[in-house]
């Protein structure tokens, strides 16, 4: 068994809406039935008993090693605690080759699970050792490192529950919620509206305390100190016991409380200096340590924090009791778990010594042994929810403290005896305020009711009814998708929206090109959805990107499928038939929002058949309103777009709206059939986006089919009285559409300049010239810049083969180089002739043609 490719599908894809790892697996003949391998399953189960059942998916089916790999990769993740359930194995057209797809929640974990599942199978085949327990521990640790922390995760979960799209921007806690101009960002429990000034104030404990004191909020006495002697002077001034802590610390690092002697103070000062240059000494307030969480102008949660401690049983040592407590599965080493493991570090040893204990002491039954003075969860403390106990006056003080500092989300640390009485009545006070507070103690308290604090935080970012989404139109098809994409973007722009667009020519935002090249994949889509100027997005979704990585969005408002026809790129990446192409293209239809629309070509049976998988509604379009699909859909009162005489008509029930074809320059008054189809698709998409019809009409009239608006899409030029048409058509369906279009244009002599893409099948390359040979008098063949795996001359030979027995073509010329071929064809043009140039290097070829046409015009004028 060999794996030739592993790739991550990071968005909705051919297999599932979930993220998944896809592997291409090759099995030898004797590996196509795992049951025929003597002792294999027994050896596999001995190494990984938790693999579960290896059951065929149907009667009479056998399970190859590829199927076993699927089960192993899924179960390894499941045993590591990952919430994964989906997997699939599909036989390809190649003998002994399968595609194995397994869901993942963290990409690194999914990749490692797939790779190590293969190693597990090899160990079972070769009867060599394999430590599955160690691997599962490694996967669990990797998952904890990779996955989003509990604080940020609570916000992410709350956002997803409201339908707000999210995406991590870093491996840490920086997350974007929403798209484009409606996007907001959070980092841990900190909102993007919180100023750096407020955060800086919160980090300065002395400044914070002075501001709170000035606002009348009770705080402990104290100040920053210069050295140990100064620290002792402050301790004497404010009265023992005291607290020593870094002035700009966080998470309780370097904090020592309840200091009553000079020796303790000196030790605490040294610890505090390890975490900051400035040290504060302040009066120790007796009572419990409480954390109050403020969001906006309300208190949303409160918890009492208790220091790390163990309870003696008269049998175990302190060290053993700590080990027992740390076995709690809720305790981990970082912030990814509800609790943190207790550490027997220098601070804990000093605390034990103060009680006359060592790690090897055996506490008596019921003896409470405190291992730290501070109660932070990050140092092993525990939390008890007390939200329902908070006195209104204390809640008001916490909100006042947060607003005084300027924090939208604020963790307010309070020390007092109880939450049931005002602070002033019990000599309590606010000892710190924290930006980006940890939320673990509220989400998963050790005792008491969990609080879903992510909900009010997300509500602070997005008002009720807002989901952070912008209109997203996804466009795919075999032909016409780039033109449709550009026209839809133009219509949205005519409505005053700043439009982000991706297509095979580049990425554009608000009319400005920000990337070039073929940008019809998910990475470009994500870039547009991240851009702060994007009010609406129109995204061309080509087959390659969907296969390689899935979609760059979770769902779209509108999905447009222009056609499937005879397909394209057949024989590549296991897409062998037009039915395979249709299954791939319908991915965007399957991911339409429930309140969205799929815009489908009713005249293409494979496209029309996509309607049942659309979660939203469907708009069918076709030139023939009497087509059975159109007639049925319209009879049901649903939306359709069709051609009626010299108009494109949109109809829903008894309502109609029409646009004259003469007012749509793209169609040349309706004479170019495939552009009429593109216009219908774009009109339907704009209708689905609820654009006003006056805006749609104005946008259609202003979209000229030139090299600026639609480069390489039937761009018509004049060359000294001859008509030159530049187009990027590159498959048989495109040739048929182009032939039909140019036949409506008068010409004395017709010529065509063509090459072929080497990554197509032989028959697809030859068929293009078979079609052209019946419509053109002369054919100029050229070899393009990239042969895509073909040898020199191979593509030209296939093109010439297609011209054998051509009904009309009488002249065939082979030229080396695209621009040389163009110049050859232009030089032979006479007034009244027509030349179709099928360009390869679109921008360069269009610029070359424009220059030659301008030179011809100047020569004629002279």
Mean pLDDT to the nearest integer, 338-349: 82
Band (58; pLDDT cuts 50, 70, 90): low
pLDDT at 422 over 70: yes
pLDDT average, residue stretch 411-421 = 95
The mean of the pLDDT values for the chain is: 92
pLDDT band at 337 (very low <50, low <70, confident <90, very high): low
- Regarding beta strands 536-540 and 472-476, do their DSSP bridges make them parallel or antiparallel, or are they unpaired? parallel
CA distance 241 to 76: 53
Cβ burial, residue 851 (10 Å; 0-12/13-18/19+) = exposed
φ/ψ (deg, to 5) at 357 = -120, 165
Report how far residue 842's alpha carbon sits from residue 822's, in angstroms, rounded to the nearest whole number: 13
Please report which confidence band the pLDDT of residue 573 belongs to, taking 50, 70 and 90 as the band edges: confident
Per-residue pLDDT averaged across 196-203, rounded? 93
Across-strand partners of 599?
560, 619
Query: Which of 291, 624, 259, 298 is closest to 434 using CA atoms?
Result: 291
| Radius of gyration of the chain measured on its C-alpha atoms | 35
Amino acid 786: pLDDT: 62
CB contact burial 207-241 (16+ within 10 A = b; e otherwise) = bbbebbbeeebbbbbbebbeebeebbebbeebebb
In the predicted structure, residue 55 carries a pLDDT above the cut 80: no
- Confidence label for 47 from pLDDT (cuts 50, 70 and 90): very high
Terminal-to-terminal C-alpha distance of the chain: 73
- Tens of pLDDT, residue by residue over 103-142, are 999 999 999 999 999 999 999 999 999 999 999 999 999 9
More confident: 332 or 183: 183
Three-class SS state of 824? helix
| Average pLDDT score over residue span 717-726 | 94
Q: Which two tokens stand for residue 146?
A: 């990779």
Q: How many residues does the chain have?
A: 862
In this prediction, residue 805 carries a pLDDT of: 86
- Whether 571 has a pLDDT exceeding 80, the answer reads no
Q: Which long-range contacts (CB under 8 A, 24 or more apart) does 14-18 make?
A: 14/546, 14/547, 14/550, 14/583, 14/584, 14/587, 15/86, 15/88, 15/101, 16/86, 16/88, 16/101, 16/103, 17/554, 17/590, 17/591, 18/86, 18/103
pLDDT at 587: 97
509 vs 706, residue with greater confidence:
509
Residues 548-568, buried b or exposed e (16+ Cβ, 10 A)?
A: bbbbbbbbbbbbbbbbbbbbb
Number of H helices, E strands in the chain: 28, 38
**pLDDT above 80 (res 62):** yes
Tens-digit pLDDT profile for residues 371-385: 886 777 777 788 999
Q: What is the pLDDT of residue 206?
A: 85
Tokens of 532: 């702060």
Judge whether residue 567 has pLDDT over 80. Answer: no
Which tokens go with 26?
Answer: 């090759």
146-198 tens-digit pLDDT: 999 888 999 999 999 999 999 999 888 899 999 999 999 999 889 999 999 99
Q: Which among 291, 311, 325 has a CA at the least distance from the CA of 440?
A: 291
Q: For the residues 620-630, what does the mean pLDDT come to?
A: 97
Q: Which of 23-32, 783-792, 839-848 has the lowest mean pLDDT?
A: 783-792
- The tokens for 577 are 């038939």
- pLDDT computed for residue 792 by the predictor: 80
Judged against a pLDDT cut of 70, whether residue 60 lies above it is answered with no
Q: Rounded mean pLDDT of 550-563?
A: 97
* 3-state DSSP assignment of residue 332: strand
Is the pLDDT assigned to residue 24 strictly greater than 70?
yes
Asked whether residue 56 carries a pLDDT value surpassing 70, the answer given is no
Q: DSSP letter at 449?
A: -
Percentage above 90 pLDDT, the chain: 74
Answer yes or no: are the C-beta atoms of 825 and 837 closer than 8 Å.
Answer: yes
Q: Is residue 250's pLDDT more than 70? A: no
> What confidence score (pLDDT) does residue 789 get?
67
**Residue-wise pLDDT tens digits, 772-789:** 999 999 999 998 766 666
Dmax (CA) of the chain: 111
Q: What is the pLDDT of residues 514-542, one digit of tens each?
A: 999 889 999 999 999 999 999 999 999 99
Q: Residue 268 — φ and ψ, nearest 5°?
A: -65, -35
Q: Which two tokens stand for residue 370?
A: 């405190």
| From 353-367, 780-794, 821-835, the region with the lowest mean pLDDT | 780-794
Q: Is a pLDDT exceeding 90 seen at residue 348?
A: no
What is d(CA 395, CA 386) in angstroms, rounded to the nearest whole number?
12
- What integer is the mean pLDDT of 634-639? 96
pTM for the full predicted model = 0.86
pLDDT at 336: 59
In the prediction, which pLDDT does 745 show? 92
How much is the pLDDT for 380? 78
Please name each of the domains of the chain with its CATH number: 2-146 (no CATH), 188-219+286-307+377-466 (3.30.470.20), 221-283 (3.30.1490.20), 311-372 (no CATH), 472-701 (3.40.1190.10), 715-861 (3.90.190.20)
The H or E element containing residue 579 is helix 578-585
Strands of the sheet containing 778-783, edge to edge, are 715-719, 722-727, 834-838, 750-754, 778-783, 811-816
Calculate what percentage of the chain has a pLDDT beyond 70.
98
Burial of 7 (0-12, 13-18, 19+ CB in 10 A): middle
């Amino acid at each position: 068994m060999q794996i030739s490719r592993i790739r991550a599908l990071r968005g909705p894809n051919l297999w599932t809406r979930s993220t998944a790892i896809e592997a291409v697996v090759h099995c030898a003949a004797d590996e196509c039935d795992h049951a025929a391998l003597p002792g294999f399953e027994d050896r596999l189960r001995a190494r990984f008993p938790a693999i579960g059942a290896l059951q065929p998916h149907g009667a009479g089916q056998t399970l190859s090693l590829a199927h076993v790999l699927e089960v192993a990769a899924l179960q390894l993740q499941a045993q590591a605690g990952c919430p994964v359930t989906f997997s699939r194995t599909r036989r390809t057209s190649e003998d002994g080759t399968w595609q194995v797809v397994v869901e993942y929640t963290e990409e690194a974990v999914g990749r490692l699970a797939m790779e190590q599942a293969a190693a597990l199978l090899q160990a079972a085949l070769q009867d060599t050792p394999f430590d599955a327990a160690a691997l599962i521990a490694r996967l669990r640790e990797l998952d904890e490192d990779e996955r989003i922390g509990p604080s940020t995760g609570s916000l992410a979960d709350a956002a997803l529950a409201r339908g707000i799209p999210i995406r991590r921007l870093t491996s840490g806690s920086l997350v974007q919620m929403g798209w484009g101009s409606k996007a907001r960002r959070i980092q841990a429990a900190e909102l993007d509206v919180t100023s750096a000034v407020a955060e800086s104030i919160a980090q300065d404990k002395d400044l914070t305390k002075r501001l709170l004191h000035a606002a009348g909020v009770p705080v402990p006495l104290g100040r920053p100190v210069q050295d140990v002697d100064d620290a002792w002077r402050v301790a004497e001034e404010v009265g023992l016991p005291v607290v020593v802590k870094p002035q700009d610390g966080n998470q309780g690092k370097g904090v020592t409380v309840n200091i009553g002697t000079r020796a303790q103070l000196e030790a605490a000062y040294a610890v505090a200096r390890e975490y900051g240059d400035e040290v504060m000494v302040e009066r120790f307030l007796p009572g419990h340590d409480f954390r109050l969480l403020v969001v906006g102008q309300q208190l949303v949660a409160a918890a009492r924090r208790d220091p790390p401690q163990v309870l003696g049983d008269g049998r175990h040592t302190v060290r053993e009791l700590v080990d027992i407590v740390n076995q709690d599965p809720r305790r981990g080493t970082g912030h990814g778990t509800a609790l943190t493991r207790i550490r027997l570090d220098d601070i804990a040893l000093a605390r034990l010594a103060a009680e006359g204990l060592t790690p090897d002491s055996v506490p008596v039954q019921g003896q409470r042994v405190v291992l730290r003075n501070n109660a932070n969860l990050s140092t092993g403390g525990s939390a008890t929810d007390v939200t329902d106990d908070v006195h209104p006056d204390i809640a008001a003080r916490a909100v006042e403290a947060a607003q005084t500092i300027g924090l939208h989300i604020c963790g307010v640390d309070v020390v007092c005896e109880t939450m049931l009485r005002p602070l002033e009545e019990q000599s309590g006070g606010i000892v710190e305020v924290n930006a980006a507070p940890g939320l673990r103690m509220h989400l998963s308290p050790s005792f008491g009711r969990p609080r879903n604090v992510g909900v009010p935080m997300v509500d602070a970012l997005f008002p009720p009814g807002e989901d952070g989404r912008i209109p997203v139109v996804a466009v795919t098809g075999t032909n016409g998708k780039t033109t449709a994409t550009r026209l839809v973007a133009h219509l949205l722009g005519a409505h005053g929206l700043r439009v982000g667009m991706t297509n095979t020519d580049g990425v554009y935002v608000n009319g400005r090109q920000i990337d070039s090249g073929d940008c019809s994949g998910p990475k470009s889509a994500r870039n547009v959805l991240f851009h702060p100027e994007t009010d609406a997005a129109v995204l061309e979704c080509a087959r390659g990107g969907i296969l390689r990585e899935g979609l760059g969005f979770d769902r779209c408002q509108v999905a447009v499928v222009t056609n499937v026809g005879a397909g394209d790129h057949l024989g590549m990446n296991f897409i062998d038939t037009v039915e395979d192409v249709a299954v791939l293209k319908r991915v965007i239809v399957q991911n339409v929002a429930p309140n969205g629309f799929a815009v489908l070509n009713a005249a293409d049976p494979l496209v029309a058949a996509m309607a049942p998988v659309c979660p939203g509604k469907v708009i069918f379009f076709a030139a023939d309103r009497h087509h059975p699909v159109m007639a049925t859909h319209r009879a049901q009162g649903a939306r359709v777009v069709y051609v009626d005489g010299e108009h494109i008509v949109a109809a829903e029930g008894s309502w109609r709206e029409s646009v004259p074809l003469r007012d749509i320059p793209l169609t040349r008054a309706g004479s170019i059939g495939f552009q009429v189809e593109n216009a219908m698709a774009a009109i339907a998409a704009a209708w689905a986006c609820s654009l006003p019809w006056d805006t749609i009409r104005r946008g259609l009239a202003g979209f000229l089919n030139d090299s600026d608006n639609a480069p390489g899409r039937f761009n018509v030029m004049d060359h000294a009285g001859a008509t030159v048409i530049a187009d990027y058509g590159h498959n048989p369906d495109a040739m048929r559409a182009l032939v039909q279009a140019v036949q409506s244009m008068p010409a004395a002599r017709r010529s065509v300049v063509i090459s072929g893409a080497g990554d197509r099948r032989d028959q697809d390359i030859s068929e293009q010239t078979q079609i052209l040979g019946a419509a053109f008098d002369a054919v100029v063949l050229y070899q393009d810049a990239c042969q895509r795996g073909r040898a020199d001359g191979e593509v030209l030979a296939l093109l010439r083969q297609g011209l054998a027995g051509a009904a009309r073509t009488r002249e065939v010329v082979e030229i080396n180089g695209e621009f040389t071929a163009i110049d050859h064809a232009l030089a032979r043009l006479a007034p009244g002739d027509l030349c179709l140039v099928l360009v390869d290097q679109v921008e360069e070829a269009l610029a070359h043609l424009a220059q030659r046409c301008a030179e011809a015009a100047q020569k004629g004028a002279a």
